[in-house]
Amino acid sequence: DAKTTQPNSMESNEEEPVHLPCNHSTISGTDYIHWYRQLPSQGPEYVIHGLTSNVNNRMASLAIAEDRKSSTLILHRATLRDAAVYYCILRDLNTGNQFYFGTGTSLTVIP
């Protein structure tokens, strides 16, 4: 499975945008890029996913590099509720529907 690399931790001030990077230089053409987050004492929850084009939803935006070797999760306005571990995951629907988690980025939001 293609691996992802994320910074271990990041900090953001409340109400400011946050850009969470992810490197996936060995991504294959059929890998989807998924982002999940895990709030304290909870199971992971879906944030967003994409294949090639940038994606927006009510929670966040996903910016995918043209060569697809990196992506950035954008939280437009961080709130204290956004403090969580954010996981960038590559998922190949052709080989199975499993999600293999990397180490993730622990986001701290400063009031």
User: Which residues in this chain contact other proteins in the complex, by CB under 8 A?
Assistant: 32, 34, 36, 42-46, 49, 85, 87, 91, 93, 96-104
In angstroms, the first-to-last Cα distance of the chain is: 38
Q: How far is the CB of 15 from other proteins (least distance, A)?
A: 28
Nearer to other proteins, 46 or 76 (CB): 46
Q: How distant, in Å, are the alpha carbons of 14, 28, 87 from that of 3?
A: 30, 11, 12
- Residues 20 and 102: beta-carbon distance below 8 Å: no
Nearer to other proteins, 67 or 94 (CB): 94
SS3 state of residue 72: strand
Nearer to other proteins, 29 or 43 (CB): 43
